[in-house]
A and B are shown apart, each in its own frame.
Chain A
Amino acid sequence: MIQLLANPQRFMDFSRWAAPILAAAAAILLAAAFWLGFSVPEDYQQGDTVRLLFLHPQLATVGMFAYACLAGSAFFGLVFRHSLADAAARAAAPIGAGFTFLALLTGSLWGRPMWGDWWVWDGRLTSYLILFLVYLAYMALLAAIDDEAKAARASNILALVGVINLPIIKFSVDWWNTLHQTASISLTGESGLAPVYLAPFFLSMIGFLMLFGSLWMVRTRAEVWRRKAGALAVQLAGKA
């Protein structure tokens, strides 16, 4: 798959169709997830706020998934010096930062009624905030170096250094026994979630992952075009 899509022309041909199809599928899945999400019964403890269960964990997962995609692209960019991988890494950053920010925001809105506070300095929350800061650092470094190829390589190295944060986020709820709950969903064992909540939970999860995939492709395409436009401008300037 990666070998196949590494060719920019092939990627452009593929993503031209794949991006809108993914977006449409994401729209259908998310619509179904939210319709189901508003029709399931209230939780006996959490009341109506349980419906954030179909938004907040998904946004948080995609925020981390996007970072994994960014770091994977950064790795390919560094090792194989592939310009499309650089473009993909660059394209993933603002989307991932957006999802991360929304996850922090919805978490804060959920924390106020449930924990009685907008924010606590718990292990999960803090490490997730650091993920957001790593995104910002990546984008700042990318913007600060004038030479685009050098900027891409430097920020790719930073992206790989930041990977250390992903396992910290994942295991923070097990290492520090603080407010944020541990994982309630398990693919292999018994889930701690009522069965009625499972369908909207996973529909929303797949929907947001597809939405990210679609947005990522669109931004990568835009990045490829931006480079083409830059190269053309240089050519034209040479002719004039």
Chain B
Amino acid sequence: MTGVGVLFRRELSLAWGKGGGPLLALAFYAAVATLLPLAVGAEPERLKAVSTGSAWLALALASLLSLERLFERDYEDGALDLLALGATGLETICFIKCLAQWLANGAPLALAAPIAAIALGADPDLTPAIIVTALLGGLGFAFTGGVGAALSLGSRRGGVLIAVIVLPLFAPPVIFGAGALEAFASGLDGRTGLSFLAAYSLAAVALGPFAMAAACKNALS
């Protein structure tokens, strides 16, 4: 088995198992979706109007949860030093970390997103659109979030700082993704928003690892 494969399995089991993994994110997601009708009022027509948008909001917030541990854990116990010394480039390592983060957190959340949206009153026909946009958005959240997590290594109050850094970067996928869903829901063509969302997420996948690697090197120096 290659080093990359071993690393991927390690990251996946860490993201899946330690610190709650997908269950924690799903519980948080359910809590946000439950609080929403209490906050905006439970009238069905009002909830229906905000159902897809709030599913996206909850998705973005739930993606923030486990970011703090993404690099911090390895930074504190010295594993990141060892990984940086290894033959695999730091960029590849960051890519694998974020990919595992996406599979362990973003993908389960994407599967749960239609349930929450339909419970709030969205049209069940939207289910495939919700899953696809949530999967793509989760990819963008994982890779831009990883940049924030790597940058805040070695700072005080890492968690809050990550949120401050990352939320402006989360804005474009939320705009494109929720906009595409909105268009699909009202019978319009949502493919433009979907293409923008895919472009942003893929750009994050392509460029994010370089920013993360530079940030990790800086924190380790």
Residues of A at the B interface (CB closer than 8 Å) are 78, 126, 130, 133-134, 136-137, 140-141, 144-147, 150-151, 153-155, 157-158, 160-162, 164-165, 168
User: Given the interface contacts A130-B171, A157-B211, does A137 sit within 8 Å of B165 by beta carbon?
Assistant: yes
Does A137 lie within 8 Å of B164, measured CB to CB?
yes
Contact call B167/A133, Cβ cutoff below 8 A: yes
- A126 to B214 CA separation, bound complex (whole angstroms): 29
Interface string of B161-184 (1 = CB under 8 A from A): 100110111011001000000000
Chain A residues with Cβ under 8 A from B215's Cβ? Answer: 154, 157
List residues of chain A with CB within 8 A of the CB of B214.
78, 153, 157
**Contact flag A158-B151 (CB < 8 Å), given A140-B164, A146-B156, A150-B219:** yes
Report yes or no: B155 in contact with A168, Cβ–Cβ below 8 A. Answer: no
Residue of B with least CB distance to A147? B154
Q: Which residue of chain A lies nearest to B167 when distances are taken between CB atoms in the complex?
A: A133
B18 contacts which chain A residues (CB < 8 A)?
none
Q: How far is the CB of B177 from chain A (nearest CB, A)?
A: 15
CB of A94 to closest CB in B, whole Å: 16
Q: Can you sample 28 A-B contacts with CB below 8 Å? A: A78-B214, A126-B175, A136-B164, A137-B168, A140-B161, A140-B164, A141-B152, A141-B164, A141-B165, A144-B152, A144-B155, A144-B161, A145-B154, A146-B155, A147-B154, A151-B155, A153-B214, A154-B151, A154-B152, A154-B215, A154-B219, A155-B151, A157-B211, A157-B214, A157-B215, A158-B147, A161-B211, A165-B168
Are the CB atoms of A161 and B156 closer together than 8 Å?
Answer: no
Contact: A153 with B161, CB < 8 Å? no
Q: How far is the CB of B196 from chain A (nearest CB, A)?
A: 9
| Interface residues as binary, B201-219 with A (CB distance below 8 Å gives 1, 0 otherwise) | 0010000000100110011
State in angstroms the CA–CA spacing of A147 and B153 once bound together. 12
* Interface SS of A by simple majority: helix
CB < 8 Å: which of A130, A144, A155 contacts B168? A130
Find chain B residues with CB under 8 A from A150 CB. Answer: 154, 218-219, 221
7 additional A-B pairs beyond A158-B147, A161-B211, beta carbons within 8 Å, are: A140-B161, A141-B152, A141-B165, A154-B151, A158-B165, A165-B168, A168-B172
Chain B min CB distance to A137 (Å): 5
Judge whether B168 and A134 touch: CB under 8 Å.
yes
Q: Which residues of B contact A154 (CB under 8 A)?
A: 151-153, 155, 215, 218-219
Most buried by B among A130, A144, A147, A151: A144
When the two chains form the complex, which single residue of A144, A146, A157 contacts B218, counting CB atoms closer than 8 Å?
A157
Complex formed: what's the CA distance from A153 to B150 in Å? 12
A101 and B171 CA atoms in complex are apart in Å by 19
Chain A residues within an 8 Å CB radius of B155 = 141, 144-146, 151, 154
Question: Do B218 and A141 touch (CB < 8 A)?
Answer: no
Bound state CA distance, A23 and B152, in angstroms? Answer: 37
Asked whether A141 and B169 contact (CB < 8 A) given A154-B219, A157-B218, A161-B147, the answer is no
User: Closest approach, in angstroms, between the C-beta of A156 and any C-beta of chain B?
Assistant: 9
Q: Smallest Cβ distance from B48 to chain A, in angstroms?
A: 20
- Which residue on chain A has the smallest CB distance to residue B166? A137
CA distance A147 to B157 in the complex (A): 15
Chain B contacts for A145, CB-based, 8 A: 154-156
Q: How far is the CA of A187 from the CA of B153 in the complex (A)?
A: 45
Whether A161 and B169, one on each chain, are in contact in the complex, defined by CB atoms closer than 8 angstroms, is yes
Q: Least Cβ distance of A145 to chain B in Å?
A: 5
- Give Cα A160–Cα B175 distance, bound, in whole angstroms: 22
Q: Is the CB of A160 within 8 A of B165?
A: no
CA distance A99 to B99 in the complex (A): 38
B161 touches A141 (CB 8 A): yes
| Closest chain A residue, CB of each to CB of B207 | A161
- Measured between C-beta atoms, what is the minimum distance from A184 to chain B in Å? 25
Q: Can you name the residue of chain B whose Cβ is closest to the Cβ of A121?
A: B175
Nearest first, the 6 A-B pairs at minimum CB distance are: A144-B155, A133-B168, A153-B218, A145-B155, A137-B165, A154-B151
Q: Mark B5-31, 1 if CB is under 8 A from A, else 0.
A: 000000000000000000000000000
| Cβ distance A210 to chain B, nearest Cβ, rounded Å | 29
- Nearest-neighbour CB distance to chain A for B98, whole angstroms, equals 14
